[in-house]
Structure 1
Amino acid sequence: MYRRFVDESKLVWDRPEPPQRPSPTPLSRDMIVQAAIRLADADGMEAVSLRKVAADLNAGPMRLYGYMSTKDELLDLMVDAVFGEIPLTDPGLPWRASLTSLAHGIRTAVLRHEWLADLLGGRPNLGPHTLAYVEASLAALYASFGDIDTAMHVSSTVNAYVVGAVKAEITDLHVERISGRTEQQWQTWAGPYLSRLIATGEFPTLAKVVEDATHPDADTLFDIGLGYVLDGIATRVNSG
């Protein structure tokens, strides 16, 4: 019933904000988005709804529908606001340094706003900050490789690694909190079971992992994986 106040023929990025009116509670699209981010940071995505955001701002829910028509639009605005926190790279930076910096920017943003992990990798976000991030990535690649298709494919490949890695990292953090066990405590708890399986001789490679492999911290693991991806890209492009 409230959507009649919004021109849904335009994307939320194209819609002007409603005119300000005398009110004891000032409101703006940015205020709404920042309130939603605060709620999500504190209590997760389940804490975010137009009703709850309105309550946080001491405003009536109906007023919010002048700024966005659905929760999906609010989520798009939240994601784009967080992308605005990521430092962009200089256009003259070599492609590998640029993509490394941008990848770390995404990871830092997700660790600061863990709910973001659930919103990455879905439908494209067309917000200005998100598009600026994509532009920085593509510009570095195109300047180095001179082929826009190569730039797009490389950017997509690196993005797939980064999204997968940060989602896995956040999932591990959530599991740790829910279970109440640290990784070391989990290993101690599961150790006897794994030892019995390894003793059967049916899992020789898994035995090498348990007995001989190093177990780097999350920061190092992210860099190792990113390095493999970038090394593979460099080899593929240079051999072509």
Structure 2
Amino acid sequence: MRRWRGALLRHPWSATLLDRPLMGPHALERTEFLYETLTAAGFTAPKTAAYSLSNYVMGSVIMQVTWERSGGTDTGHFLRERADRYPALAEHGLEHDWDATFDEGLGYLLEGMARSRQ
């Protein structure tokens, strides 16, 4: 998942292609590999797990590319001024380290998937 995300981020224009079915040979090979890996990990029906992982990767890439293209707006000041209305956002903010946040979220997703197999 990290390598796929990295490949998409190295080619930011690729995020614009994610709004259509990915039926090219490279996309199909990646999906085949993902299904095989999930099956080997004990998922008897890997489609939902693959869907969850793929959408997590694609969604994170789209958000990051969009944020960076917008100039990476500093939202901290805006949110702190509105802390009475958005206290959790004012405290935690929206800015983050993209890689660390991706890894942490992927961990949550994988932990949940592992529990579902038990």
TM-score by length of 1: 0.44
Report what 2:106 is aligned to.
226
Report what 1:197 is aligned to.
82
Q: Which runs of 4+ in 1 moved over 6 A?
A: none
Letter in 2 for 1:168: M
The answer to whether 1:206 aligns with 2:101 is no
Q: 2:55 aligns with which of 160, 163, 172?
A: 160
1:175 is displaced (CA, Å) by: 0.5
The whole-number CA distance in structure 1 between the counterparts of 2:43 and 2:105 is: 26
The answer to whether 1:175 aligns with 2:70 is yes
**Structure possessing the higher radius of gyration over alpha carbons:** 1
Q: Which consecutive unaligned segments of at least 5 residues does structure 1 have?
A: 1-102, 177-181
1:197 is displaced (CA, Å) by: 2.0
Which structure would you say has the larger RCO, counting Cα contacts within 8 Å and 6 or more residues apart? 2
* C-alpha distance after superposition, 1:83-129 (max 9, x if no partner): xxxxxxxxxxxxxxxxxxxx12221112211110111252231x222
What is the SS of the residue equivalent to 1:124?
coil
Instruction: Give the percent of matched residue pairs that are identical in Structure 1 and Structure 2.
Output: 31
**RMSD (Å), alpha carbons:** 2.2
The whole-number CA distance in structure 2 between the counterparts of 1:146 and 1:236 is: 9
CA contact (8 A) 1:117 1:166 kept: yes
TM-score by length of 2: 0.84
CA contact (8 A) 2:79 2:89 kept: no
The whole-number CA distance in structure 2 between the counterparts of 1:141 and 1:106 is: 16
1:217 is displaced (CA, Å) by: 1.2
* C-alpha distance after superposition, 1:40-60 (max 9, x if no partner): xxxxxxxxxxxxxxxxxxxxx
